[in-house]
Structure 1
Amino acid sequence: MTIQTSSVYHSRCTDIEIRNAFEWAGAILLEGPRGCGKTTTGLHHAVSSIRLDQSPDLAILAQEQPSIVLAGEKPRLIDEWQLAPALWNTARHSIDEYPHEAQFIFSGSATPATDATRHTGAGRFERLRMRTMSLSESGDSSGAVSLGALLEGVESIGAVSPATFKDLAYFAVRGGWPRLLGASEQAATGYNRAYCRSLAEVELPELLGVAATPERISRLLHTLSRNLGTAINIAKITREISADGRSVSESTIRGDLDALHRVFAYDPLPSWSADVRSRTRIRVAEAIHLADPALALATLGIGIDRLILQRQFFGFVFESMACRDLRAYAATRGGRLRRYRDSSELEVDFIIEYPGTWAAVEAKLGSTEIAKAEKNLLRLSNDRVDKTKMGAPAFLAIVTGTEAAYTLPSGVHVVPLATLTW
């Protein structure tokens, strides 16, 4: 089986966000890693479009005479807009002139070197983050359990996952890239390896100049991949990269990570800033995640069979898959993900912050870890969070790689990842 292309549009969680945003915003800034589907989604919502990466002359024209490029039926998609940052202010002025019109969708795979978005877009632009496809978006989840239904307080759930353990390994190796739907393991591995080579040899050197060497960026990607889903600081990352005797400074690694951020290849999960009982100190280190866990597997040379044998590492990869999917599903209702770990070493993989409420989720690949995950969730809810300030959680759930969805007597939901949707 080879990489497939299709004219069929696959609905994305971002579709809901775009429709909601255009209720008040004059423009949308659609950001995300190269190849995640931004252009296709932007075109789905636009009436006219222009792609600035089609020719250098077009990008120059857009920078020097932005009003010409912005002219067209609205909403108008401006793809790879970061090649002409002058478009930002011109679009702002157009929105001020016609404040009740949905005018522009700016999409880009990198943040401009001189970040034009620092000039306020408040009340004009809504910034939306696209990621690679969740299992629901790719059609690999049954969608029998809705995150929205959990948020609304459904008391019990029941469903059976269509995905086997080997299916989950395939989904991890393939990744959520739209272009890889239906791809063989060999084709997917080749695509993801090429993606990582491009980051190391082309994209980051273009951003950082001579300061970025492909060898160092490759070592950084390798270190991030080996530590996927864990929280380690800059000092440890630097030590691991320098282990072969090549000296590298923490400031250099910070610059490299910032560049990976700018092309949306590095997607860490920040710590939850919440009201907890005073005796507890929250640890603030971010958890490592890439644009897609498939990039980590390609970097490490791990395919389906080897991933199945490496059960502990598969657990971290599964957690990263769950992080990707939950971020997409939660965003449809204004939610965002965080992580929790405190000084007593209580750790909960995901906190979903919704407007006015919150939820907690553990990600566990196998059934043997469900009891411990349930205990962690209940400890967080009952002993750690100050409910007089935060309120009770909307729900507690364990996302698993197991077969059955059900609700435990404690009220904690057990949800196979391949049954979940928004």
Structure 2
Amino acid sequence: MEYLPRVLDDLLAARLTSAGAVLIEGPKACGKTRTAQQVARSAVHLDRDEASLHALQVDPALVLAGDPPQLVDEWQLDGTRVWNHVRAQVDLRGAPGQFILTGSAVPDDDARRHSGAGRFARLLMRPMSLYESGDSDGSMSLRALLAGERPHARAGAMTVPGIAELIVRGGWPLNLRMGADAAAAANRDYLRTVAEIDLPRIAGPRRDPARVTRFIQALARNTAMEHVVTRLAAEADGDDVSVSRLTAHEYQDALTRLMLLEVQPAWSTHLRSRARLRDRPRTHLIDPSLAAAALDATPERLLRDLNTLGLLFESLVVRDLRVYADAADGAVHHYRDSDGLEVDAIVEARDGTWGAFEVKLGAGQIDQAASRLLKFAEKIDTAKVGAPAVLGVVTASGYGLTRPDGVVTIPIGALGP
């Protein structure tokens, strides 16, 4: 299968010139190993090379002596041994670009191992954005928008039914050549493996897959909503299973360690108004296809439930913004205040440049979204945080342009890094 370039490629190349080892973390099947293989000169795969795993117990130097950069795939299977030996080798060799470590779970003793400060660079890989999968032409660059440029885009072929199919398919590289039905089945199998094998391995064997599944379904129903564990626990309760608040916290922590759950933090800033900022994060599974799979949602069912489709579309946009924000050295937040004003996504770069984005599935919602963004911008104390570089509405389709009021409309099929 032909390798499709990833946004992370350039980040990895840059980190290999500045750090002795680069750690690429991300959920299973998102493409970490394939990306690392593009630049690695040698490799050891601990998840399928049992001999190497045993040799590590005797003498790690025998296994970790490949030509640099050497890929160590699923390094966490050997716990701290690989980590500490790589750290020692980086110190000994005194040169950048020695190792690439990939992992799909944070190991049990993560808190005890050496931090790796000054030796390791960390990168997070998510499932593919629409630009990476070829479903967006990237003509409206997030980096350009944050730089104050105003790119434009012709109306593309993207439709709301097409968006529903992309949500169900997801950004998993192996799903790209599948139809919606096959991809949906693959994603349901993925969640079944999480519930029956992966989460019990992380959180302990006495974890009932039925309870795990109910909790993931509760997360799916609360996609793009404020994260309240007690609400998730209550929604996971049923006639045959119950989930306590403590158990819900344990499941949440385990899903985070498996890198399947991300929270979108609230934006902290200075306001001109007397409104108070709300600080609860929003919840997203790492890819909206997992939420669709948990809800057993087909494209046809999503089209009959536009509210759920809208929330999953917002989650898809947040996923893509996170991928593109990484390339711009930025982070993605959300905004909500005590007056009830909300903004779906705030992208803030390390240099303080920022932009605000609303996500709307229908063209008829654009005017209302633009009005909300302009009202939001009036509340911000720009003397302290600067004026927004862009106010934008990300839509399912339509033209990419700058409206007379200054708000930019951005079809998702044009958004890129």
Distance (Å, rounded) in 2 between the aligned partners of 1:204 and 1:118:
22
Tell me, yes or no, if the aligned pair for 2:214 and 2:236 is still in contact at 8 Å. yes
Q: CA RMSD in A?
A: 1.7
Letter in 2 for 1:365: L
Other-structure match for 2:73: 79
Picking from 229, 233, 247, the partner of 1:234 is 229
Other-structure match for 1:3: none
Other-structure match for 2:377: 381
- Mean CA deviation greater in 114-123 or 231-240: 114-123
Q: Secondary structure at the match of 1:336?
A: strand
Shift of 1:290: 0.7
Structure 1 residue 14 and structure 2 residue 13: aligned? no
Distance (Å, rounded) in 2 between the aligned partners of 1:110 and 1:92:
19
Tell me, yes or no, if the aligned pair for 2:211 and 2:241 is still in contact at 8 Å. no
Tell me, yes or no, if the aligned pair for 1:155 and 1:411 is still in contact at 8 Å. no
Distance (Å, rounded) in 2 between the aligned partners of 1:190 and 1:292:
15
Other-structure match for 1:330: 325
Other-structure match for 1:355: 350
Q: Secondary structure at the match of 1:244?
A: coil
Other-structure match for 1:369: 365
Distance change >3 Å, CA 96–CA 300, structure 1 → 2: same
Distance (Å, rounded) in 2 between the aligned partners of 1:130 and 1:161:
28
Q: Secondary structure at the match of 1:89?
A: helix
Tell me, yes or no, if the aligned pair for 1:88 and 1:116 is still in contact at 8 Å. no
Distance change >3 Å, CA 277–CA 96, structure 1 → 2: farther
Other-structure match for 2:304: 309
CA deviation profile, 1:67-119 (whole Å, cap 9, x unmatched) = 22221111111100001121112211222233332111110110001106852
- Mean CA deviation greater in 136-145 or 98-107: 98-107
Picking from 92, 97, 104, the partner of 2:87 is 92
Shift of 1:243: 4.5
Shift of 1:245: 6.8
TM-score, scaled to structure 2: 0.95
Distance (Å, rounded) in 2 between the aligned partners of 1:27 and 1:45:
13
Structure 1 residue 412 and structure 2 residue 407: aligned? yes
Other-structure match for 2:174: 179
Tell me, yes or no, if the aligned pair for 2:266 and 2:333 is still in contact at 8 Å. yes
Distance change >3 Å, CA 245–CA 284, structure 1 → 2: farther
Shift of 1:20: 2.1
Distance (Å, rounded) in 2 between the aligned partners of 1:38 and 1:243:
37
Distance (Å, rounded) in 2 between the aligned partners of 1:134 and 1:117:
34
Structure 1 residue 167 and structure 2 residue 135: aligned? no
Tell me, yes or no, if the aligned pair for 2:275 and 2:337 is still in contact at 8 Å. yes
Other-structure match for 2:246: 251
Structure 1 residue 32 and structure 2 residue 29: aligned? no
Distance change >3 Å, CA 155–CA 217, structure 1 → 2: same
Structure 1 residue 140 and structure 2 residue 135: aligned? yes
- Mean CA deviation greater in 178-187 or 19-28: 19-28
Other-structure match for 2:269: 274
Tell me, yes or no, if the aligned pair for 1:212 and 1:256 is still in contact at 8 Å. no
Shift of 1:269: 1.2
Q: Which runs of 5+ in 2 are unaligned?
A: none
- Mean CA deviation greater in 247-256 or 347-356: 247-256
Letter in 1 for 2:90: I
> How is 1:146-161 mapped onto 2 (pairs within 5 angstroms)?
146-155=141-150, 157-161=152-156
CA deviation profile, 1:352-381 (whole Å, cap 9, x unmatched) = 120112111111111122122212222222
Letter in 2 for 1:199: V
Shift of 1:412: 1.4
Shift of 1:64: 4.4
Distance (Å, rounded) in 2 between the aligned partners of 1:137 and 1:261:
24
Distance (Å, rounded) in 2 between the aligned partners of 1:198 and 1:321:
23
Runs of at least 4 residues of structure 1 off by over 4 A?
A: none
Distance (Å, rounded) in 2 between the aligned partners of 1:291 and 1:54:
25
Distance (Å, rounded) in 1 between the aligned partners of 2:287 and 2:327:
20
Picking from 98, 102, 110, the partner of 2:105 is 110
Other-structure match for 1:293: 288
Q: Secondary structure at the match of 1:267?
A: strand
Shift of 1:204: 0.8
Distance (Å, rounded) in 2 between the aligned partners of 1:344 and 1:60:
60
CA deviation profile, 1:194-240 (whole Å, cap 9, x unmatched) = 00100111111112223311010000011111111111301111111
Q: Secondary structure at the match of 2:410?
A: strand
Q: Secondary structure at the match of 1:349?
A: strand
Structure 1 residue 283 and structure 2 residue 258: aligned? no
Distance (Å, rounded) in 1 between the aligned partners of 2:3 and 2:220:
31
Other-structure match for 1:265: 260
- Mean CA deviation greater in 190-199 or 97-106: 97-106
Tell me, yes or no, if the aligned pair for 2:363 and 2:398 is still in contact at 8 Å. no
Tell me, yes or no, if the aligned pair for 1:47 and 1:76 is still in contact at 8 Å. yes
Percent of paired sites with the same residue: 41
Distance (Å, rounded) in 2 between the aligned partners of 1:62 and 1:283:
49
Distance (Å, rounded) in 1 between the aligned partners of 2:177 and 2:348:
34
Tell me, yes or no, if the aligned pair for 2:402 and 2:408 is still in contact at 8 Å. yes
Distance change >3 Å, CA 152–CA 61, structure 1 → 2: same
Tell me, yes or no, if the aligned pair for 2:218 and 2:235 is still in contact at 8 Å. yes
Shift of 1:63: 4.5
